[in-house]
Structure 1
Amino acid sequence: MPFVRIDAIRADDKRLEALGRAVHDALVEAIGIPADDLFQVLTGHDGTRSMIRYGAEYLGVHRDDDVVFVAVTMRSGRTAEQKQALYRKIAELAEEYAGTEPRNVLVKITENESIDWSFGDGVAQYARADLRGGGIS
Protein backbone atom coordinates (compact mmCIF):
# COMPACT_ATOMS: atom_id res chain seq x y z
CA MET A 1 0.00 0.00 0.00
CA PRO A 2 1.92 2.99 -1.12
CA PHE A 3 0.62 6.32 0.10
CA VAL A 4 1.65 9.06 -2.32
CA ARG A 5 1.87 12.81 -1.88
CA ILE A 6 2.59 14.97 -4.92
CA ASP A 7 3.32 18.68 -4.68
CA ALA A 8 3.80 20.74 -7.83
CA ILE A 9 4.14 24.40 -8.72
CA ARG A 10 1.64 25.81 -11.24
CA ALA A 11 -0.29 22.56 -11.36
CA ASP A 12 -3.92 22.73 -12.36
CA ASP A 13 -6.29 19.79 -11.88
CA LYS A 14 -5.39 18.29 -15.26
CA ARG A 15 -1.63 18.31 -14.55
CA LEU A 16 -2.13 16.97 -11.02
CA GLU A 17 -4.30 14.12 -12.31
CA ALA A 18 -1.72 13.27 -14.97
CA LEU A 19 1.10 13.27 -12.41
CA GLY A 20 -0.92 11.09 -10.04
CA ARG A 21 -1.67 8.65 -12.84
CA ALA A 22 2.02 8.59 -13.84
CA VAL A 23 3.15 7.74 -10.30
CA HIS A 24 0.44 5.12 -9.84
CA ASP A 25 1.16 3.43 -13.18
CA ALA A 26 4.90 3.42 -12.34
CA LEU A 27 4.19 1.79 -8.96
CA VAL A 28 2.09 -0.90 -10.65
CA GLU A 29 4.68 -1.57 -13.35
CA ALA A 30 7.96 -1.18 -11.45
CA ILE A 31 7.17 -2.79 -8.11
CA GLY A 32 3.97 -4.70 -8.78
CA ILE A 33 1.43 -3.05 -6.51
CA PRO A 34 -2.19 -4.01 -7.25
CA ALA A 35 -3.90 -1.66 -9.71
CA ASP A 36 -6.67 -0.82 -7.23
CA ASP A 37 -4.18 0.10 -4.47
CA LEU A 38 -4.58 3.84 -5.00
CA PHE A 39 -4.11 6.35 -2.17
CA GLN A 40 -2.82 9.79 -3.18
CA VAL A 41 -2.88 13.40 -2.01
CA LEU A 42 -2.22 15.78 -4.91
CA THR A 43 -1.51 19.46 -4.25
CA GLY A 44 -0.85 22.30 -6.66
CA HIS A 45 0.97 25.38 -5.38
CA ASP A 46 0.27 28.73 -6.98
CA GLY A 47 2.67 30.81 -4.86
CA THR A 48 0.02 33.03 -3.29
CA ARG A 49 -0.83 31.02 -0.18
CA SER A 50 1.74 28.28 -0.39
CA MET A 51 5.37 27.98 -1.27
CA ILE A 52 7.80 25.43 -2.64
CA ARG A 53 11.51 26.07 -2.30
CA TYR A 54 14.17 24.01 -4.04
CA GLY A 55 17.83 24.01 -4.97
CA ALA A 56 17.72 24.86 -8.67
CA GLU A 57 21.12 23.27 -9.37
CA TYR A 58 21.54 20.76 -6.51
CA LEU A 59 23.71 17.76 -7.51
CA GLY A 60 24.14 19.26 -10.99
CA VAL A 61 20.48 18.83 -12.00
CA HIS A 62 18.92 22.03 -13.41
CA ARG A 63 15.38 22.47 -12.05
CA ASP A 64 12.83 25.14 -12.80
CA ASP A 65 9.32 26.02 -11.66
CA ASP A 66 7.89 22.87 -13.23
CA VAL A 67 9.46 20.97 -10.32
CA VAL A 68 7.38 18.15 -8.82
CA PHE A 69 7.94 16.52 -5.44
CA VAL A 70 6.76 12.94 -5.08
CA ALA A 71 6.76 11.32 -1.64
CA VAL A 72 5.97 7.62 -1.51
CA THR A 73 5.42 5.85 1.80
CA MET A 74 5.28 2.07 1.58
CA ARG A 75 6.11 -1.04 3.50
CA SER A 76 9.74 -2.09 3.47
CA GLY A 77 11.03 -4.93 1.34
CA ARG A 78 11.78 -3.54 -2.12
CA THR A 79 15.27 -3.98 -3.53
CA ALA A 80 17.54 -1.16 -4.64
CA GLU A 81 16.96 -2.28 -8.23
CA GLN A 82 13.17 -2.06 -7.83
CA LYS A 83 13.48 1.44 -6.38
CA GLN A 84 15.75 2.55 -9.22
CA ALA A 85 13.27 1.16 -11.74
CA LEU A 86 10.48 3.02 -9.94
CA TYR A 87 12.36 6.34 -10.07
CA ARG A 88 13.01 5.90 -13.80
CA LYS A 89 9.42 4.92 -14.55
CA ILE A 90 7.94 7.82 -12.57
CA ALA A 91 10.17 10.30 -14.42
CA GLU A 92 9.37 8.70 -17.79
CA LEU A 93 5.60 8.67 -17.24
CA ALA A 94 5.54 12.16 -15.71
CA GLU A 95 7.02 13.40 -18.95
CA GLU A 96 4.69 11.31 -21.11
CA TYR A 97 1.46 12.05 -19.21
CA ALA A 98 2.06 15.57 -17.85
CA GLY A 99 4.86 17.04 -19.95
CA THR A 100 7.10 17.33 -16.89
CA GLU A 101 10.76 16.95 -17.78
CA PRO A 102 12.50 14.16 -15.84
CA ARG A 103 15.01 16.67 -14.42
CA ASN A 104 12.12 18.28 -12.54
CA VAL A 105 10.87 15.11 -10.83
CA LEU A 106 12.16 14.52 -7.29
CA VAL A 107 11.10 11.26 -5.61
CA LYS A 108 11.47 10.30 -1.96
CA ILE A 109 10.61 6.88 -0.55
CA THR A 110 9.87 6.29 3.12
CA GLU A 111 9.49 2.71 4.28
CA ASN A 112 7.71 1.33 7.31
CA GLU A 113 6.22 -1.89 8.67
CA SER A 114 2.82 -3.61 8.55
CA ILE A 115 1.74 -2.33 11.95
CA ASP A 116 2.11 1.26 10.68
CA TRP A 117 -0.99 1.07 8.44
CA SER A 118 -4.70 1.29 9.15
CA PHE A 119 -7.14 1.33 6.24
CA GLY A 120 -10.12 2.20 8.38
CA ASP A 121 -12.20 0.89 11.25
CA GLY A 122 -9.29 1.50 13.63
CA VAL A 123 -7.65 -1.77 12.56
CA ALA A 124 -4.12 -2.51 11.33
CA GLN A 125 -5.26 -4.80 8.51
CA TYR A 126 -1.76 -5.61 7.24
CA ALA A 127 -0.56 -6.56 10.72
CA ARG A 128 -3.49 -8.97 11.10
CA ALA A 129 -2.68 -10.55 7.72
CA ASP A 130 0.99 -10.93 8.71
CA LEU A 131 -0.04 -12.70 11.92
CA ARG A 132 -2.16 -15.12 9.89
CA GLY A 133 0.67 -15.63 7.41
CA GLY A 134 -1.25 -13.81 4.69
CA GLY A 135 0.53 -11.98 1.95
CA ILE A 136 -0.69 -8.47 1.32
CA SER A 137 1.64 -6.30 -0.75
Structure 2
Amino acid sequence: MPLIQISLAEGKSPEYIQAIADGIHQALQTSWKILLNDRFQIISEHKKSHFLIDKMMWNGNRSDDVVVIHITSVLRTKEMKLNLYSELVKVLTVNPGVRKEDIFVTIVDNTPENWSFGKGLAQLSA
Protein backbone atom coordinates (compact mmCIF):
# COMPACT_ATOMS: atom_id res chain seq x y z
CA MET A 1 0.00 0.00 0.00
CA PRO A 2 2.43 2.69 -1.01
CA LEU A 3 1.36 6.32 -0.93
CA ILE A 4 3.09 8.19 -3.73
CA GLN A 5 3.67 11.94 -3.67
CA ILE A 6 4.89 13.25 -7.01
CA SER A 7 6.35 16.75 -7.21
CA LEU A 8 7.41 18.56 -10.35
CA ALA A 9 7.85 22.06 -11.68
CA GLU A 10 4.68 23.60 -13.00
CA GLY A 11 3.98 23.90 -16.69
CA LYS A 12 3.81 20.28 -17.83
CA SER A 13 0.92 19.08 -19.97
CA PRO A 14 -1.83 16.88 -18.53
CA GLU A 15 -0.57 14.07 -20.79
CA TYR A 16 2.97 14.37 -19.40
CA ILE A 17 1.69 14.32 -15.82
CA GLN A 18 -0.54 11.30 -16.54
CA ALA A 19 2.42 9.47 -18.13
CA ILE A 20 4.50 10.12 -14.99
CA ALA A 21 1.72 8.81 -12.72
CA ASP A 22 1.05 5.77 -14.93
CA GLY A 23 4.76 5.00 -15.26
CA ILE A 24 5.33 5.11 -11.52
CA HIS A 25 2.39 2.78 -10.97
CA GLN A 26 3.67 0.42 -13.67
CA ALA A 27 7.15 0.37 -12.08
CA LEU A 28 5.64 -0.43 -8.68
CA GLN A 29 3.57 -3.25 -10.15
CA THR A 30 6.65 -4.73 -11.78
CA SER A 31 9.15 -4.32 -8.96
CA TRP A 32 6.95 -4.58 -5.85
CA LYS A 33 4.12 -6.69 -7.29
CA ILE A 34 1.47 -4.26 -6.06
CA LEU A 35 -2.10 -4.79 -7.23
CA LEU A 36 -3.58 -2.88 -10.16
CA ASN A 37 -6.03 -0.98 -7.93
CA ASP A 38 -3.39 -0.27 -5.24
CA ARG A 39 -2.99 3.26 -6.55
CA PHE A 40 -2.69 6.16 -4.13
CA GLN A 41 -0.93 9.11 -5.76
CA ILE A 42 -0.85 12.81 -4.96
CA ILE A 43 0.61 15.06 -7.65
CA SER A 44 1.86 18.56 -6.88
CA GLU A 45 3.18 21.18 -9.27
CA HIS A 46 5.47 23.89 -7.93
CA LYS A 47 6.66 27.27 -9.14
CA LYS A 48 10.31 26.99 -10.17
CA SER A 49 11.17 29.48 -7.43
CA HIS A 50 9.59 27.06 -4.89
CA PHE A 51 11.24 23.92 -6.27
CA LEU A 52 14.77 24.10 -4.91
CA ILE A 53 16.45 20.84 -5.86
CA ASP A 54 20.22 21.08 -6.14
CA LYS A 55 21.32 20.26 -9.67
CA MET A 56 24.74 18.75 -8.90
CA MET A 57 24.68 17.15 -5.42
CA TRP A 58 25.61 13.43 -5.63
CA ASN A 59 26.79 13.89 -9.25
CA GLY A 60 23.19 14.60 -10.20
CA ASN A 61 23.45 16.78 -13.31
CA ARG A 62 19.72 17.46 -12.83
CA SER A 63 17.72 19.81 -15.03
CA ASP A 64 14.70 21.98 -14.28
CA ASP A 65 12.56 18.96 -15.22
CA VAL A 66 13.44 16.91 -12.13
CA VAL A 67 10.60 14.73 -10.84
CA VAL A 68 10.61 14.04 -7.10
CA ILE A 69 8.88 10.79 -6.15
CA HIS A 70 8.30 10.40 -2.41
CA ILE A 71 7.01 6.97 -1.38
CA THR A 72 5.60 6.01 2.00
CA SER A 73 5.24 2.26 2.33
CA VAL A 74 5.30 -0.69 4.66
CA LEU A 75 8.81 -2.11 4.93
CA ARG A 76 10.39 -3.25 1.65
CA THR A 77 13.70 -5.03 1.24
CA LYS A 78 16.80 -3.27 -0.02
CA GLU A 79 16.61 -5.41 -3.17
CA MET A 80 13.01 -4.34 -3.80
CA LYS A 81 13.96 -0.68 -3.43
CA LEU A 82 16.94 -0.99 -5.77
CA ASN A 83 14.77 -2.81 -8.32
CA LEU A 84 12.19 -0.04 -8.11
CA TYR A 85 14.80 2.68 -8.78
CA SER A 86 15.98 0.78 -11.84
CA GLU A 87 12.44 0.12 -13.08
CA LEU A 88 11.45 3.78 -12.68
CA VAL A 89 14.35 4.82 -14.90
CA LYS A 90 13.47 2.12 -17.43
CA VAL A 91 9.82 3.21 -17.65
CA LEU A 92 9.96 6.99 -17.24
CA THR A 93 12.82 7.58 -19.69
CA VAL A 94 10.67 5.99 -22.40
CA ASN A 95 7.37 7.71 -21.59
CA PRO A 96 7.19 10.65 -21.05
CA GLY A 97 10.94 10.92 -21.71
CA VAL A 98 12.32 12.00 -18.32
CA ARG A 99 16.11 12.07 -18.17
CA LYS A 100 17.45 9.41 -15.79
CA GLU A 101 19.29 12.15 -13.89
CA ASP A 102 15.94 13.85 -13.22
CA ILE A 103 14.27 10.91 -11.42
CA PHE A 104 14.68 11.65 -7.72
CA VAL A 105 13.19 9.07 -5.34
CA THR A 106 12.81 8.86 -1.57
CA ILE A 107 11.21 6.00 0.34
CA VAL A 108 9.99 6.16 3.93
CA ASP A 109 9.19 2.85 5.62
CA ASN A 110 6.55 2.43 8.25
CA THR A 111 4.52 -0.36 9.85
CA PRO A 112 1.01 -1.68 9.07
CA GLU A 113 -0.62 0.04 12.05
CA ASN A 114 0.41 3.41 10.58
CA TRP A 115 -2.23 3.09 7.84
CA SER A 116 -5.94 3.82 8.03
CA PHE A 117 -7.94 3.79 4.82
CA GLY A 118 -11.03 5.10 6.58
CA LYS A 119 -13.69 4.01 9.07
CA GLY A 120 -11.27 4.51 11.96
CA LEU A 121 -9.58 1.18 11.25
CA ALA A 122 -6.00 0.08 10.69
CA GLN A 123 -6.86 -2.26 7.82
CA LEU A 124 -3.31 -3.54 7.26
CA SER A 125 -2.70 -4.59 10.85
CA ALA A 126 -5.68 -6.92 11.12
Question: Does the alignment reach a TM-score above 0.5?
Answer: yes
CA contact (8 A) 1:56 1:64 kept: yes
| CA shift digits 1:75-123 (9 cap, x unpaired) | 01x2211111100111221111211111100000001001000111111
Q: Secondary structure at the match of 2:118?
A: coil
Partner AA of 2:70 in structure 1: A
What residue number does 1:134 align with? none
Query: Is 2:38 the partner of 1:40?
Result: no
Identity of aligned residues (%): 29
User: How far is 1:60 from its partner?
Assistant: 1.1
What residue number does 2:60 align with? 61
Aligned residues: 125
Query: Structure 1-normalised TM-score?
Result: 0.86
Larger Rg: 1
Q: Secondary structure at the match of 1:65?
A: coil
| Aligned structure 1 segments of 4 or more residues deviating by more than 6 angstroms | none
For 1:95 and 1:44, locate their aligned partners in 2 and report how far apart those are by CA, in whole Å: 20
Task: Specify every segment of 5 or more residues in structure 1 that has no aligned partner in the other structure, as ranges.
Answer: 129-137
Partner AA of 1:24 in structure 2: H
User: How far is 1:21 from its partner?
Assistant: 0.7
For 2:16 and 2:46, locate their aligned partners in 1 and report how far apart those are by CA, in whole Å: 12
Query: Structure 2-normalised TM-score?
Result: 0.93
